[in-house]
Amino acid sequence: MPDLSPLAPASFPDMPAIRGVRLATGACGIRYENRSDLLLAELAPGTTAAGVFTRSLTASAPVLACRESLKSGGGRVLVVNSGNSNAFTGKVGKDAVARVSKSCCDLFSCAPSDVYMASTGVIGEKLPDEKIIAAMSGLRSAMTYNAWPEAARAIMTTDTYPKMATRTATISGTQVTLNGIAKGSGMIAPDMATMLAFVFTDAAIPAPTLQALLNEANATTFNCITVDGDTSTSDTLLLFATGKAENPVADYGDFGRALHALLHELALHVVKDGEGAEKLVEITVSSAASASAARSIGMSIANSPLVKTALAAGDANWGRIVMAVGKAGQAADRDKLSIKIGGVSVATHGEADPDYRESQIESHMKSRHIAIAVDVGVGSGAATVWTCDLTHRYIDINGSYRT
């Protein structure tokens, strides 16, 4: 396993039990021996579900199955494995998902549409679903309400630390709890989701409302991060609401706030644990033609290898930011373009700021958190995206991923 990210948190949250959610994990040897690689979650009857998935045209078999299950609006079982993505495996992969689903239906007396599966790992290799199925009965017997750290670890691949977050919200005077776990270190440029993320709440929320809340929160969290510009075949974000809080159907504004905060925290953990990452980079784009245009410009900057390698070296080469703005394919006024790094103006009104001295931002460029602000001078659209630097360790990790 790679060395711990220098951006890893000093401590991890205490994750409370969620009424209606039981968890168990195991080591099945899907890719590595003696390493936790399987998560099984049981959800109470009546649980509603929402989800967003990769838009990749080579989406994995589990993603395709989840899309079908989501049409029911409910969920009873979640199965997640690491070490093998079951992507680009054709009918063999589809059949493997069907066999795991049937095993879940037999164990939990539920319908196939109540089962969700997610897989992460190597693409193009047959999933050893027989190992998963063989472990299911034992995992069900071992289920508890408190295995959140173990669950977060079971879904890791090249991650250096488990990613967890928890929040509370109030719905018409009733307190509800949200817990979330995520994984992802590379192949992170989500387009409707992240690598893998799962959120559970005891709130009672109808499936259509739950989906709308998830779509809104996802748009400015997971859909605004990138590590390397590559969108995974397996991107999956699922939200389950067990209803055990028995809150009335009412205003979900505070729940939406809590959900956004939780997803934002998880999304930043994914960036901070980007493969080889040593710096978290926040890029804010303003005065764009629209919010969508601002996001596109921000992503163009965030995905530029020239920008990211300069940031890794602590080089304030803001000309590369200008380049990335220009290639984004969105409206920008060259003669109004302004750039700030660490709050210091480096370029203004289309040229270098005459008062700028590189010594002003030397310490900021060496810090763990870099802030870049770009004003493109054409409208009122704004967006913030997050990325990390690009170091040689990214090559080391990915060059030896399968070995």
Cα–Cα distance list, 80 to 97, 138, 183, 234, 304 (Å) = 11, 16, 11, 11, 32
Helix (H, G, I), strand (E, B) or coil at 104: helix
| DSSP 8-state assignment for residue 232 | P
38 vs 132: CA distance, rounded Å: 7
160 is an active site residue: no
372 vs 281: CA distance, rounded Å: 8
CA angle 384, 380, 227 (to 5 degrees): 20
Cβ density class 281-312: b for 16+ within 10 Å, e for less: bbbbbbbbbbbebbbbbbbbbbbbeebbbbbb
26 vs 132: CA distance, rounded Å: 9
- If you search the block for the tokens 């030896």, which residue do you land on? 400
385 vs 116: CA distance, rounded Å: 30
| DSSP 8-state assignment for residue 230 | P
Q: Which of 89, 194, 221, 242 is catalytic?
A: 194
Dihedral of the CA atoms 313, 318, 319, 322 (nearest 10)? Answer: 130
One DSSP character per residue, 3-59 reads PPPTT--SS-------TTEEEEEE---SSSTTS--EEEEEE-TT-EEEEEE---TT-
Catalytic residues: 194
